[in-house]
Structure formats: C-alpha cells, structure tokens
Amino acid sequence: MTRRLLARLAVVAVAAVALVGMLASTSTTEAAWSDAEWVTAPATSGFVQRPNPAAACSIGLAGLDVTFHWAHGTGGVPRTGYVLTAYRPDGSVAGTQTVGATVTTTSTTGLLTSLLNSTTYRVEIQAYAPSTSSWRSTPLVGTITTTALGLITSCSGFSVPA
C-alpha cells in the first residue's frame, strides 16, 4: 500500500506542477512589433528672425493708445507678418493684433480698449511665418502703464528681454 500511495502522490504532484505551470504562463498581453521602414524626402529647417529694437514708444494725444516702432530682422525664413500681444500682470493675454510683413510701426488702438485698473502690461512683438503664424521669433518686450480710467500714463519701447 505504501507503493500505491507513493505512486498516487507522484501522479498528483506531477499534475499539480503541470497545472501551476499552465496557469502561471498565461497572461494578457497586447501585440507589439516593430517594422522599420525607410523613406527619403527633402527636409528644410529654418528660424524666424526676431525684429530689432528701434525708436521708443510714443503715447497718443488723448492717452488712449501707444505707437510702437521696430526694425526688420535680417536672415531666417521670410516672415509673414508681426503679432503684437499685451499680457496682464498675471500672464493672461489682454489682447492681440497682427500687422503685415512690411510694417515697422503699429498703434495699440483697438488692442487696449479695455485695459483699466492702474496696471502695467507687458507687450511683446514677434515676427511670424508662415501664414499660419505657427513659427514665431523670440520677442521684443515693452510695457504700457494705465490709470484706473484706462488712460495710458507711460510706456517703454521694445527691447531685447534679459
């Protein structure tokens, strides 16, 4: 009887090992593979040259607008135009306007119609290309300070940020 018991235990042990091996080896996986492909195509890289600082800004006669000046940057991909963006002190955008590629001066009339609360706004000018304005240059930075009534009391012309 001892041999029979040992034989049965051996059969049960072998079956248990086989069953555990099957259960342990099954797991859910996602299919993954790699298939390298070769493609040849021309690629071009470039950059949008930032505008150059020019004369200082000037405040309009009634204190309702500011005129900023800059010079065209040289080199880089051809620019499509310039985008002027005013930022509130918290970093949110207060207004944006775009001008054409040949322009070197713009007034903030219409851009700053709702800037109140005695605040200093950061103003940036960037060249952009192509027409989607997705490529932008590094900015030039200026400021506009307003009174509680929205009148502009001071401005600083565009300069290269430190």
Residue ranges with strand state E in 1-75: 52-53, 58-59, 66-71
What pLDDT is recorded for position 27?
A: 58
What pLDDT is recorded for position 19?
A: 59
Model-level pTM?
0.68
- Domain annotation for the chain: domains and CATH numbers: 52-159 (2.60.40.10)
Could you list the pLDDT tens digit for every one of the 162 residues in the chain? Answer: 577 777 777 776 666 666 565 555 555 656 556 677 777 777 667 788 889 887 689 998 888 888 999 998 888 888 889 999 999 899 999 888 999 999 999 988 766 555 567 889 999 999 998 755 578 899 999 999 888 877 888 999 898 887
Using the structure block, give the residue that is written with the tokens 């490529």: 135
Helix (H) or strand (E) holding 21: helix 2-25
Q: Which two tokens stand for residue 101?
A: 């590629």
Sign of CA dihedral 70, 75, 78, 84: negative
What pLDDT is recorded for position 131?
A: 58
What pLDDT is recorded for position 99?
A: 92
